[in-house]
A and B are shown apart, each in its own frame.
Chain A
Amino acid sequence: MSEDINITINDQPVSVPKGTLVVEAAKKIGIEIPVFCYHEKLGPFGCCRMCLVEVEKMPKLTTACTQTVMPDMVVKTESPKVIKAQQGVLEFTLLNHPLDCPVCDKGGECPLQNNTFKYGPGDTRMEFDRANRDKATPLSPVITIDRERCIACQRCTRYSDIIEQESALVMLNRGFNNEVGTFNNEPYDTKYSGNVIDICPVGALTNTQFRFKARTWDLDNSATLCAHCGCNCNMTLGSRTNKFMRIETRPNDLVDDGWVCDKARFGYDFIESDHRIVEATNLVDGEYKVAKTLEIARQTAESLKKIVDEYGPESIGFIGSPFGTNEELYLYHKLFRFTLGTNNLDHKIYIDTPGLPVDHYDFLNVETANLVLLIGSDPAEELPILDLRIKKAITRKGVKLAILNDQKTELDKIADLSLMYDVGSDEIALAALANSLALELDIEMVEGETSDESLTGIAERRMKEMAELVRTAMKVCVVYNPASLTGNSIFMLKHLLGVINKIPTMECGAIPAAPFTNSLGAMDMGILPDYYPGGISSSDSGKVDQVWGDGSSLQSKGLSALEMIDKAESGELKALLVYRNNPVIDFPDRKRVESALKKLSLLVVHDMMKTETSVLATTVLPSNGPGYDEGTTTNIGGRVQYRKRGLNTKNSPDWKIISKMINSLSEKPIEYLTSFSVTEELSQTVPGYSEISKKSIKKEGKTREKIESANGVVPEIGKVESSGQGLKLRIAEQLFAKDKILDASSPLAHHFLPSTLCLHKKDALKLDLSNGDQAILAANGVEVKAIVEVSNRCNPGAVIVPRVSDDQGLLRLSRSCSVNWVEVKKPKVE
């Protein structure tokens, strides 16, 4: 390890690792050296000159933000020379800075104000008019730039270069005329643009939504989490008189590395949306009647119980949500499994199982691995802050990147090797890689032909290259998106993980990167038909009884979410409770889902937004949702963190509603005082969560213990569906889509894409379609319009369609979670 170096700063000794910057060494012993341009995530730059210090034996003052410590260095930060220099630099910095403080949004949290106050000259000697520049012009629909206020520290431009790897925001022109801008004055609208607002040390870059809304010192700030994707970035929600004001970063290096994406910062309008469900209603004679929430909860529980009594526990089901908190989902698991006695619980339409045959890696492991192997995942579109972390690992930490996907993604640009398999051939592609590795290891291989290029579109030689990268990496972090895998491919993926783990001296871990906020928590809390919380198989009655008490295991095999729809259609399922999920839009084949749901005698929808499903409900319960709710979520790295309430509401919290349902059917009711009472209980019952407590997760969260995957046999390759007509459909998730969370009036509307279909040029040629043409996607008797993009984003034989809005109704085109076929055709000319 690197040795420590001893130096003294203002006569205080400090010992820091070699390579530490003087400014950081000073911080360590509580000595502040003022800075503007320096930012720990951006590294040294040395342009503002605010941090000048005196170092003995150096002829000139030096910048503490670029100077690394040297043995026995003697640093002075308060000598007369330094003070004169600081005053001089501040005078220069303020020379042409407008006197905007009273009306500036940065006021009260402005490093320029603070430094001036502490280190500045009392007065200005500037005798000329300050230079005028454009005031408050839009840099994008969500960021306002005031170029007069800019002190040219280049934090924002370096952010765009180093962190985003986009170089979208740049310094234009030169000298006194330099200005922060973009190519050809285009909007600066990357997915993570808003972070520049937080790092700008002055009020030059401001949040357009928040401008002039409140003074920063009047805000009530809540240390909470973003609830939009599986990263669970930390953020601060600022409010005033219980009105939402703004979102800011709340750096947690173990999760977000100090950033949030624009969906976090500008995607919280739904908090005040008119489409919120705020009261409980019952459908009585065709009309929704409002009643007390907890009363309706009690009635609902009793109705469910009645149906169980009459038709048996298999006649009811629960479709939960990967967006709920652990506490809410845990209580629902209790309600349905123990109070009502059914295993019919699920939260998703793809196949996934809890647990990993390798370590469960956290975000930091992305940086410390030697190779990141990305499978079926598109972090830029699905998990933006994971995307930034991978970029950091690859561009600044010397980590290699290998990508195996059925579509081209942004990260291909910086990948060492990127292979594209045919849509729907994921199982064989994964088997091919596993076999390529297993061959050398002399361990059992997947049976059948896997290496033939015609099966996957990947030449054997290329797959060997990938195997070689993996084999020689020593430490591999596999990031995969279970939601993008078709059919049973998840089992092949886990087999591959197991094989990698058998490579001698290999350290391997994985991040199951499902895009949704709490997919991992939903699995951990047992919202699965075949697994109890903590990955205990429902069929393992011994284990179930051991954890939950004798008689807790249920005889019946549970139904998956899609099976529940089937059974609803056939009339065998009588009642369904849908929690924060919208099967009508998010499940395949809308028509069938709708008619199935209509057949139910009881459809309870517990949600925070009105949806296409909630309008079919016989009972609607309000869910508070992010902003108003509180509880823990488990991010894709297995880190459990606390999502704090940001705004107050009179409505009952979800956990209270669910526990009301449980209690109204139990002889021994359990009263929880807060959401943490539920956390405490689940930490005692859910394997892996024993160390999770209010205290242990407080600072930076805590990873739950790894959940073992059931010891798998080598999977077989399923039958390949080749019978379809037309092209194979691949739906690509988009975090910035026009859905219930970001609606038409969202400040992020500029990110909404038109409905687009991406073709390989061979198929485009066959179909006689070219870039920009209107085309129709047809399947299931449904047609979806889209604009053609001939981009080779996938191999021939398939079409990639980004899911850009709920209105697009893309899932109407599919029938199942395996391969779906669509016809792509030209629109009829009228």
Chain B
Amino acid sequence: MLGSGALIVMDHTVNIVEAALRMSYFYMHESCGKCTPCREGTRWMYQILNDIQNGKGSSKQVEKLEDICDNMSFKCFCALGDAAVAPVASSIMHFRSDYDELIKNLESDEVSA
């Protein structure tokens, strides 16, 4: 579920983490702030994705993301929280390799440094 009944087609040149990051920014911005899981969760997910995208992430954080998704799903006041989970959870599920790549880069950088 990305957007409102619209389809966005991306080819392989797009890094899915960047896309997920952009979408999580959107949800953070759209969260009305009324309920706790959505208000706090959207921001936390954005912060973590931002780390990963900027090469500062770890695989532990990806697992944490998955658990945050679980803690938000169906526990928010309205469906925005569930929608916010979708791009993050599905991108991890289907494109875990994109995440791993960004994390591995970091880990090998650290080794060589």
Interface check A178, CB cutoff 8 A = yes
Q: Within the complex, which residue of A46, A50, A61, A126 is in contact with B44, where a contact is CB–CB below 8 Å?
A: A126
Q: Given A88-B71, A88-B75, are A93 and B33 also a contact pair (CB < 8 Å)?
A: no
CA A125 to CA B76, docked complex, whole Å: 20
Q: Tell whether, in the assembled complex, residue B37 and residue A92 are in contact, meaning their CB atoms are under 8 Å apart.
A: yes
**Number of residues on chain B facing chain A (CB within 8 A):** 27
Q: Tell whether, in the assembled complex, residue B71 and residue A152 are in contact, meaning their CB atoms are under 8 Å apart.
A: no
CA A173 to CA B39, docked complex, whole Å: 13
Q: Tell whether, in the assembled complex, residue A176 and residue B31 are in contact, meaning their CB atoms are under 8 Å apart.
A: yes
Residues 162-179 of chain A, each 1 if its beta carbon lies under 8 Å from chain B, else 0: 000000000101111110
Interface check A91, CB cutoff 8 A = yes
| CB closest chain-A residue, reference B46 | A176
Closest CB of chain A to B71's CB: distance in Å? 3
Q: Within the complex, which residue of A47, A50, A92, A154 is in contact with B40, where a contact is CB–CB below 8 Å?
A: A92
Interface check A48, CB cutoff 8 A = yes
Q: Tell whether, in the assembled complex, residue B43 and residue A176 are in contact, meaning their CB atoms are under 8 Å apart.
A: yes
Residues of A within 8 A of B96 (CB): none
Residues of B within 8 A of A95 (CB): 40, 44
Residues of A within 8 A of B31 (CB): 174-176
Closest CB of chain A to B41's CB: distance in Å? 6
CA A151 to CA B48, docked complex, whole Å: 21
Closest CB of chain A to B46's CB: distance in Å? 9
**Which B26-48 residues have C-beta < 8 A from chain A?**
28-37, 39-44, 47-48
Interface check A85, CB cutoff 8 A = yes
Closest CB of chain B to A79's CB: distance in Å? 14
Q: Tell whether, in the assembled complex, residue B44 and residue A49 are in contact, meaning their CB atoms are under 8 Å apart.
A: no
Q: Tell whether, in the assembled complex, residue B32 and residue A61 are in contact, meaning their CB atoms are under 8 Å apart.
A: no
Query: B28, B36, B44, B64: which has the most chain A beta carbons within 10 Å?
Result: B36
Closest CB of chain B to A700's CB: distance in Å? 35
Secondary structure dominating the interface of B: helix
Interface check A217, CB cutoff 8 A = no
Closest CB of chain B to A820's CB: distance in Å? 55
**Which A803-825 residues have C-beta < 8 A from chain B?**
none
**Which A39-98 residues have C-beta < 8 A from chain B?**
46-50, 52, 59-61, 84-85, 88-89, 91-93, 95-96
| CB closest chain-B residue, reference A90 | B36
Secondary structure dominating the interface of A: loop
CA A89 to CA B75, docked complex, whole Å: 9
Q: Tell whether, in the assembled complex, residue A152 and residue B41 are in contact, meaning their CB atoms are under 8 Å apart.
A: no
Q: Within the complex, which residue of A47, A59, A92, A151 is in contact with B34, where a contact is CB–CB below 8 Å?
A: A47
Closest CB of chain B to A524's CB: distance in Å? 50
Residues of B within 8 A of A151 (CB): 36
Closest CB of chain B to A487's CB: distance in Å? 56
CA A715 to CA B30, docked complex, whole Å: 68
Q: Tell whether, in the assembled complex, residue B77 and residue A49 are in contact, meaning their CB atoms are under 8 Å apart.
A: yes
Q: Tell whether, in the assembled complex, residue A85 and residue B29 are in contact, meaning their CB atoms are under 8 Å apart.
A: no
Q: Within the complex, which residue of B41, B47, B61, B77 is in contact with A46, where a contact is CB–CB below 8 Å?
A: B77
Residues of B within 8 A of A59 (CB): 74
CA A61 to CA B43, docked complex, whole Å: 23
CA A46 to CA B38, docked complex, whole Å: 13
Q: Tell whether, in the assembled complex, residue A128 and residue B47 are in contact, meaning their CB atoms are under 8 Å apart.
A: yes
Query: What would be 18 A-B contacts, judged by CB atoms less than 8 Å apart?
Result: A46-B35, A48-B35, A49-B77, A61-B74, A85-B71, A88-B37, A89-B75, A92-B41, A125-B64, A127-B48, A127-B61, A152-B34, A152-B36, A154-B34, A174-B32, A175-B33, A176-B28, A178-B33
> With A47-B77, A49-B36, A173-B33 given, can you name 18 additional A-B contacts, CB distance below 8 Å?
A46-B35, A49-B35, A49-B37, A49-B75, A49-B77, A50-B36, A52-B75, A60-B75, A88-B75, A89-B36, A93-B40, A95-B40, A95-B44, A154-B34, A175-B28, A175-B30, A175-B31, A176-B43
Q: Which 6 A-B pairs have the closest CB atoms?
A: A88-B71, A178-B33, A92-B40, A60-B74, A175-B33, A175-B31
